[in-house]
Amino acid sequence: FTDRKGKTPRRPGQRKQCNIEKDPVGVYCRIRPLGTEDEECCIEMISSSTIQLHAPDGLKANRNGEYKETQYSFKKVFGVNTTQIELFEDVGKLLIEDLIQCKNGLLFTYGVTGSGKTYTMTGSPGEGGLLPRSLDMLFNSIGPFQTKRFVFKPDDKNGMEIQSQVDALLERQKRDSQQSVSKIPSSRQKADPEIADMISSDDACKVENVDEDSCYSVFVSYIEIYNNYIYDLLEDAPFDPIRPKPPQSKILREDQNHNMYVAGCTEIEVKSTEEAFEVFWKGQKKRRIANTQLNRESSRSHSVFTLKLVQAPLDADGDHILQDKNQVNVSQLCLVDLAGSERTNRTRAEGSRLREAGNINQSLMTLRTCMEVLRENQMCGTNKMVPYRDSKVTHLFKNYFDGEGKVRMVVCVNPKADDYEETIQVMRFAEMTQEVEVPRPVDRPICGVAAGRRHRNQAFRDELSPIPPCELVDPADDQMLPRLIEVLQRRHHTRQMIIEEFNKTANTVNSMLQQFDSQLSSKGNFLHDQQSKLSEKDKVIVSQKTEIERLEKKSKTLEYKIDILQKTTDMYEQDKRTLQHELETRDHRLHRELSDRRRIEQHMQGMVTDTRLKWEKECERRVNAKQLEMQNKLWVKDEKLKQLKAIVTESSPAQRPERPTRERDGNIAQKRSASPSPLPTPYPPASTSSSTSSSAYPSVASCISKWEQRVPVDSRSQARQPGTPQYRTQTPAPCQSTSSMGRRKGQRWAPDTEAPTTPLVYGLNLEAGTRVSVFHPIHRRSHSAGGEKWVDHKPSSNLDVDTVMQPIIPNAIKVSTPNEKALSKCHKYVLRHQELASDGEIETKLIKGNVFKTRGGGQAVQFTDIETLRQECPTAPSRKRRSGSAERPAHVKNKVIVKTMLILSCHINV
């Protein structure tokens, strides 16, 4: 006989493809009912796929509202009222269908202890969980197509061998003999009340499209992983109750297809749901006993129940299995009841149990880490190593996550408030797991043998009329022989018919095949056509693509250029803006300077006009004075000449002219006195001399003495000249000064003659209060000249102003009302007069004047000057140029200008 080995399906070639279809890990959530009605519930199912967690009241108070309501979504959520069958239909059914379609599956329950993992996976009597229901569905589907026992035999390398019929028969006989001793029930016989009614016949599920041309066999194994050790729960080691031997742990191995398996693990071939469940229950019991004996906590172990389905096609006759190991397919479904996911401290474990618990926790942690890495690899396209090897659980199932089958997880939650914090952890793990995608297992290859052979061959066998039982003893049995002949003839006829039919069918098939062939070839041609068209189009596309690329490149360069130009433009614009700004500032400055200059110009022009006027006046005055002086001199000379003439005439009495009368002299003098008038009326000396020469002349001696009295000191050189005009004695004021300045002489003449042309100054006559004429001070004396006595008249109504420049007059007699006594002592008078200027500021005017003694013996003041002191606010709109201003120190802007103006204003002549 030949051993045929089956193997778990693995197609490494397809794995490499980058466009492998992937499915996310299907995560379901089951909420178990609360233990007691009055317990606080912290989970609410808000839709068929979403739950909401509420922080329990106590926790909310403690954490200051840190915990908010959080929602978690799953593929589906099963509420408290979900029945086991409903859950199975959603979660388990598809896995069984896949199993029969040669696809692997992994289903595990996850959650804290007491959340219903075992209830979900195993169930309770009358309410079978996923495991019994899966078994039931599987056997319901493959029941009639199962092989006889021992046709498949597991090798010790995770593969399956096909035994020859004889070997299988021998093994069956051996087993039967053993079974008759141990009397293991093999039918639907409720031996153990604990496993009774796990599945009611009403709930029977079945896969419809089972390949009937295959033979099936189911093997189960059951292991427990505790403290990172693997124990075989179906191992037939005799248990010694007196000296219990600790169970031997198993190791994980990788088969030739890189699938992980538990080496040396017992795999039991089962032929019915009951048998399979019984095996499971046997393992379960063993697990319970071991836990008790070894003082382990069952909630801390993971249990893995594996359903292995082996299938191989029937041979062409449909009678036996095709003895081809390549046609053997093995698929498996692992049902895993994981350990409680709660943290170690919750169980208050101690010592070695704490360490063990730590290890168990570690394996769940590793599961979590693996999921995280898988997710990261998928999301970021990275190729990080997934740490499957860090724990037995993840190592065992690494193939599933690498694409050997579907992975589903039922997350069990207990809505009680005590579990809230642990439940949050569970939810986070579940959410993360959902994002992991597992490559979709590929379909099994099609078997090359015609389908439907199992039934067709049977039907053919039924069709042939059976040969009646006959025993020929006599060759001349004319009863039996004709009957036999008849039967044989009928059979021959049938065979002929069948052959004919076969031929006909074969012909039809042939013609159909030919037709199909021709169709195929035409399709091929069409395909070829299309392909050539396609390649043409491809070429066009390629050329267009290159064109597009070229244009894109061009557009990119253009964009780049535009960018650069834009930048340059920006730069220039910026430059332009700065330059414009600069231009504006300069313009502004220029404007300001221009206006300044204009102002200064105006100011200067004013000054020039002032000065010119002043000097014109001065010049005029000087010219007049000079004229007067010259006239005087002329007169003197005239007089001398006359005297000389008189002398000459005296010496020749015959020609003595008539002496002029005193009245005439006086008239002449009066006439001459008009000469100081500013009007240019030059005295014609010739006519005067001619007109006066006719008067009677005094004696030479008297004339000389008179002259000597009259002539100033500087003209004493002429003093010896005899004769001084008599009318000279009428000069009202004798010469008080010896100064030779013509001006003073001119001055002297003016009051004497009381000429109306003399500029009059209306002054204050303290004696009479009437208008009096006073001397006109032709020149201005320096006000700063010391030694002058001043009357400082400051009316009591005056206000003190805080200007910087205050008039300080030394040696002044300060009065509030002017009085004669004070005036008599002084030569100068100043009145401080205040008034309100147009801009609202106080304006102080210093009205200055000279004090004169009037003829009546009183005092008169001749006002000569007004000095204006004014404060001006720098923000005031206008600025009077010709006003002396003393500004407040804080606002002083241009002291120089202020001073200049002050000086200017001091020179204002009224």
Q: Which is nearer to ligand ADP, 302 or 308 (CB)?
A: 302
Query: Counting contacts by CB under 6 A, is residue 300 touching ligand ADP?
Result: no
Smallest distance from Mg ion to CB 112, Å: 10
Query: Counting contacts by CB under 6 A, is residue 803 touching ligand ADP?
Result: no
Please identify, among the stretches 118-126, 191-199, 449-457, 598-606, the one whose residues bind ligand ADP according to the rule CB under 6 A. 118-126
Interactions with Mg ion, residue window 151-210 (CB under 5 A): none
The residue whose Cβ lies closest to ligand ADP is 116
Q: Which is nearer to ligand ADP, 301 or 721 (CB)?
A: 301
Query: Counting contacts by CB under 5 A, is residue 122 touching Mg ion?
Result: no
- The count of chain residues that interact with ligand ADP, using the rule CB under 6 A, is 14
Q: Which is nearer to ligand ADP, 127 or 235 (CB)?
A: 127
Residue 279 contacts residue 220 (beta carbons within 8 Å): yes
Q: Give CA–CA dist 407/399, Å, rounded.
A: 11
Smallest distance from ligand ADP to CB 20, Å: 35
Q: Give CA–CA dist 57/52, Å, rounded.
A: 15
Query: Counting contacts by CB under 6 A, is residue 378 touching ligand ADP?
Result: no
Please identify, among the stretches 111-119, 441-449, 453-461, 484-492, the one whose residues bind Mg ion according to the rule CB under 5 A. 111-119
Torsion angles phi and psi, residue 8, rounded to 5: -70, 140
Closest by alpha carbon to 337, among 280, 390, 387?
A: 280
Closest by alpha carbon to 707, among 663, 643, 753?
A: 643
- The residues with which 24 forms a beta bridge, in sequence order, are 437
Which member of 70, 73, 124, 731 binds ligand ADP (CB under 6 A)?
A: 124
Name residue 495's amino acid. R
- The count of chain residues that interact with Mg ion, using the rule CB under 5 A, is 2
Query: Counting contacts by CB under 6 A, is residue 118 touching ligand ADP?
Result: yes
Q: Does 122 carry a binding-site annotation? A: no
Torsion angles phi and psi, residue 847, rounded to 5: -95, 115
Query: Counting contacts by CB under 6 A, is residue 412 touching ligand ADP?
Result: yes
Smallest distance from ligand ADP to CB 116, Å: 3
Q: Give CA–CA dist 194/125, Å, rounded.
A: 6
Which does residue 115 bind out of Mg ion, ligand ADP, none, counting CB within 5 to 8 angstroms by kind? ligand ADP
Which member of 10, 103, 117, 793 binds ligand ADP (CB under 6 A)?
A: 117
Please identify, among the stretches 113-121, 606-614, 712-720, 879-887, the one whose residues bind Mg ion according to the rule CB under 5 A. 113-121
Smallest distance from Mg ion to CB 227, Å: 17
Interactions with ligand ADP, residue window 642-661 (CB under 6 A): none
Closest by alpha carbon to 91, among 72, 80, 103, 77?
A: 77
Smallest distance from ligand ADP to CB 36, Å: 12
Smallest distance from ligand ADP to CB 119, Å: 3
Which does residue 165 bind out of Mg ion, ligand ADP, none, counting CB within 5 to 8 angstroms by kind? none
Q: Does 83 carry a binding-site annotation? A: no
443 token code pair: 């379909």
Which does residue 777 bind out of ligand ADP, Mg ion, none, counting CB within 5 to 8 angstroms by kind? none
Q: Which is nearer to ligand ADP, 32 or 642 (CB)?
A: 32
Query: Counting contacts by CB under 6 A, is residue 359 touching ligand ADP?
Result: no
Which does residue 114 bind out of ligand ADP, Mg ion, none, counting CB within 5 to 8 angstroms by kind? ligand ADP
190 token code pair: 């409720």
For tokens 């106590």, what's the residue? 58
Please identify, among the stretches 110-118, 371-379, 438-446, 523-531, the one whose residues bind ligand ADP according to the rule CB under 6 A. 110-118
Q: Which is nearer to ligand ADP, 116 or 725 (CB)?
A: 116
Q: Give CA–CA dist 485/287, Å, rounded.
A: 69
Residue 777 contacts residue 862 (beta carbons within 8 Å): yes
Residues 6+ apart with CB under 8 A from 207: 96, 97, 100, 137, 140, 141
DSSP 9: -
SS3 392: helix
Q: Which is nearer to Mg ion, 339 or 860 (CB)?
A: 339
Which does residue 111 bind out of ligand ADP, Mg ion, none, counting CB within 5 to 8 angstroms by kind? ligand ADP
Please identify, among the stretches 108-116, 244-252, 310-318, 601-609, the one whose residues bind ligand ADP according to the rule CB under 6 A. 108-116
Residue 271 CB coordination number (10 Å): 16
Closest by alpha carbon to 308, among 250, 388, 222?
A: 222
Interactions with Mg ion, residue window 753-782 (CB under 5 A): none
Which member of 104, 115, 118, 301 binds Mg ion (CB under 5 A)?
A: 118
Query: Counting contacts by CB under 5 A, is residue 115 touching Mg ion?
Result: no
Smallest distance from Mg ion to CB 376, Å: 31
Torsion angles phi and psi, residue 114, rounded to 5: 90, 5
671 token code pair: 């006439």
Which member of 49, 50, 299, 362 binds ligand ADP (CB under 6 A)?
A: 299
Query: Counting contacts by CB under 6 A, is residue 296 touching ligand ADP?
Result: no
Q: Which is nearer to ligand ADP, 299 or 689 (CB)?
A: 299
Name residue 907's amino acid. H
CA–CA distance from 661 to each of 411, 691, 727, 809, 857 (Å)?
A: 161, 12, 10, 55, 35
Residues 6+ apart with CB under 8 A from 170: none
Which does residue 33 bind out of ligand ADP, Mg ion, none, counting CB within 5 to 8 angstroms by kind? ligand ADP
DSSP 773: -
Smallest distance from ligand ADP to CB 227, Å: 18
Residues 6+ apart with CB under 8 A from 95: 105, 107, 134, 333, 406, 408
Torsion angles phi and psi, residue 652, rounded to 5: -125, 85
Please identify, among the stretches 107-115, 253-261, 572-580, 731-739, the one whose residues bind ligand ADP according to the rule CB under 6 A. 107-115
Query: Counting contacts by CB under 5 A, is residue 414 touching Mg ion?
Result: no
Closest by alpha carbon to 371, among 106, 122, 134?
A: 106
- CB-neighbour burial class of residue 199 (10 A; exposed 0-12, middle 13-18, buried 19+): buried
CA–CA distance from 852 to each of 436, 739, 754, 909 (Å)?
A: 124, 21, 16, 19
Q: Does 115 carry a binding-site annotation? A: yes
Query: Counting contacts by CB under 5 A, is residue 303 touching Mg ion?
Result: no
Q: Does 666 carry a binding-site annotation? A: no
Query: Counting contacts by CB under 6 A, is residue 284 touching ligand ADP?
Result: no
Residue 250 contacts residue 230 (beta carbons within 8 Å): yes
The bridge status of strand 842-853 relative to strand 812-815 is unpaired
Which does residue 377 bind out of ligand ADP, Mg ion, none, counting CB within 5 to 8 angstroms by kind? none
Which does residue 412 bind out of Mg ion, ligand ADP, none, counting CB within 5 to 8 angstroms by kind? ligand ADP
The bridge status of strand 790-793 relative to strand 812-815 is parallel
Q: Does 112 carry a binding-site annotation? A: yes
For helices 130-142 and 273-293, the axis angle rounded to 10 degrees is: 150
Give residue 768's Cα distance to chain centre: 96
Q: Does 857 carry a binding-site annotation? A: no
Smallest distance from Mg ion to CB 342, Å: 12
- Binding stretches for Mg ion (CB under 5 A): 117-118
- Binding positions for ATP: 111-118
Contact residues: ligand ADP, CB under 6 A: 32-33, 111, 113-119, 124, 299, 340, 412
